Structure 1
Amino acid sequence: MRKLLVLVLLALLLGVGVVALVETSPGYVLISYGAYTVETSLWVGIFLLVLLTVVLYGSVALLRKLLASQRSLAGWLGSRKARQAAQLTNRGLISFIEGNWARARQQLLRAAQGSEAPLLNYLMAARASFQLGEPERMREYLSAAERSDAEADIAVDLTQAELKLKARQFEQAVATLERARSNAGKHPYVLKLLRNAYFGLSDWPQLRQLLPELRKYRVVPDAELEELERTVHTHLLHATADHGGDGDAPKRLHHYWQGLSAAQRRDPALLHTYTGLLIHEGDHEGAATVIRKALKQGWDSDLARLFGYVELPDPRRQLAQGEAWLAEHPQDPELLLCLGRLACRQQLWGKAREYFESSNRQRRSPETFAELGRLLTAMGEDKAAAAAFRKGLLLREKSLPRLPLPEPAQR
Structure 2
Amino acid sequence: MKRIVLLIVVVLLAALALGRWMAADSGYVLIIRDDLQVDMTLGFVLLALLVGALSLVILTLLANAAWNAVEPIRATRRWKKATARRRLYSGFLQLVDGEHERAERLLVASAQEGDWPLAGWLLAAESARERGDVDGSQRYLEKAGEDRRGRLVAGLMKARFALADGYPQQAREELKVLADMAPRNRRILETYADVLESEKDWAALCELMPRLKRVFGDADQARRERRAWLARVQEAARKPGFNDADSRRDELARLWKTVPLSLKNDPAMVARYAGFMAQLGAGGKALELVRHQQERDWDDRLPPVLEAIDDVAPDNLLQVLEGWLANRPGNAAVLITAGRVALKARLWGKAQGFFEAAANSSQSATALAELSRLYQSLGDSSKMQNTLERRARLLAEQLPDLPQP
* TM class, shorter-length: 0.7 to 0.9
Give the CA deviation at 1:174: 2.3
Measure the CA separation in 1 of the matches of 2:341 and 2:135. Answer: 66
Deviates more, 1:63-72 or 1:83-92: 63-72
Matching of residues 120-131 of structure 1 within 5 Å: 120-131=119-130
Give the CA deviation at 1:399: 5.7
Deviates more, 1:355-364 or 1:81-90: 81-90
Shift of the 394–109 alpha-carbon distance from structure 1 to 2, 3 Å rule, reads farther
Give the CA deviation at 1:257: 1.3
In 1, are the aligned partners of 2:85 and 2:110 still within 8 Å (CA)?
A: no
In 1, are the aligned partners of 2:355 and 2:367 still within 8 Å (CA)?
A: yes
Give the CA deviation at 1:169: 1.1
In 2, are the aligned partners of 1:199 and 1:207 still within 8 Å (CA)?
A: yes
**Equivalent residue number for residue 273 of structure 2:** 274
Measure the CA separation in 2 of the matches of 1:108 and 1:164. Answer: 22
Give the CA deviation at 1:74: 5.7
Q: Aligned partner of 2:182: which letter?
A: A
**Equivalent residue number for residue 190 of structure 1:** 188
- Superposed CA deviations along residues 282-302 of structure 1, whole A, max 9, x for unmatched, are 322121111111111111111
Measure the CA separation in 2 of the matches of 1:117 and 1:355. Answer: 76
Measure the CA separation in 1 of the matches of 2:98 and 2:267. Answer: 45
Shift of the 389–123 alpha-carbon distance from structure 1 to 2, 3 Å rule, reads farther
Which runs of 5 or more residues in structure 2 are unaligned? 1-34, 37-55
- Superposed CA deviations along residues 335-356 of structure 1, whole A, max 9, x for unmatched, are 1212222333344433322322
Give the CA deviation at 1:78: 5.5
Measure the CA separation in 2 of the matches of 1:251 and 1:63. Answer: 85
**Equivalent residue number for residue 47 of structure 1:** none
In 1, are the aligned partners of 2:163 and 2:171 still within 8 Å (CA)?
A: yes
Give the CA deviation at 1:132: 4.0
In 1, are the aligned partners of 2:88 and 2:107 still within 8 Å (CA)?
A: no
In 1, are the aligned partners of 2:279 and 2:308 still within 8 Å (CA)?
A: no
Deviates more, 1:123-132 or 1:107-116: 107-116
TM-score (norm 2): 0.72
Give the number of equivalent residue pairs: 344
Measure the CA separation in 2 of the matches of 1:331 and 1:102. Answer: 72
Asked if residue 364 in structure 1 is aligned to residue 360 in structure 2, the reply is no
Give the CA deviation at 1:377: 0.8
Shift of the 201–404 alpha-carbon distance from structure 1 to 2, 3 Å rule, reads closer
State the superposition RMSD in angstroms: 3.5
**Equivalent residue number for residue 4 of structure 2:** none
Matching of residues 69-218 of structure 1 within 5 Å: 69-70=69-70, 77=79, 80-81=82-83, 83-92=85-94, 95=96, 105=104, 108-109=107-108, 111-112=110-111, 115-147=114-146, 149-185=147-183, 187-216=185-214, 218=215
Q: Aligned partner of 1:201: which letter?
A: E
In 1, are the aligned partners of 2:338 and 2:354 still within 8 Å (CA)?
A: yes
In 1, are the aligned partners of 2:372 and 2:384 still within 8 Å (CA)?
A: yes
Matching of residues 9-408 of structure 1 within 5 Å: 67-70=67-70, 77=79, 80-81=82-83, 83-92=85-94, 95=96, 105=104, 108-109=107-108, 111-112=110-111, 115-147=114-146, 149-185=147-183, 187-216=185-214, 218=215, 220-243=216-239, 244-248=242-246, 249-311=248-310, 313-389=312-388, 392=391, 402-405=402-405
Give the CA deviation at 1:184: 3.0
Q: Aligned partner of 1:238: which letter?
A: Q
Measure the CA separation in 1 of the matches of 2:65 and 2:213. Answer: 63
- Superposed CA deviations along residues 131-181 of structure 1, whole A, max 9, x for unmatched, are 44331221122133235x354223222211122123331111122233334
Q: Aligned partner of 2:115: which letter?
A: E
Q: Aligned partner of 2:168: which letter?
A: F
Give the CA deviation at 1:387: 4.5
In 1, are the aligned partners of 2:196 and 2:205 still within 8 Å (CA)?
A: yes
Secondary structure of 1:301's match?
coil
Which runs of 5 or more residues in structure 1 are unaligned? 1-24, 27-56, 406-411
Identity of aligned residues (%): 23
The structure number with the bigger radius of gyration is 1
Measure the CA separation in 1 of the matches of 2:132 and 2:267. Answer: 45
In 2, are the aligned partners of 1:331 and 1:362 still within 8 Å (CA)?
A: yes
Give the CA deviation at 1:307: 2.4
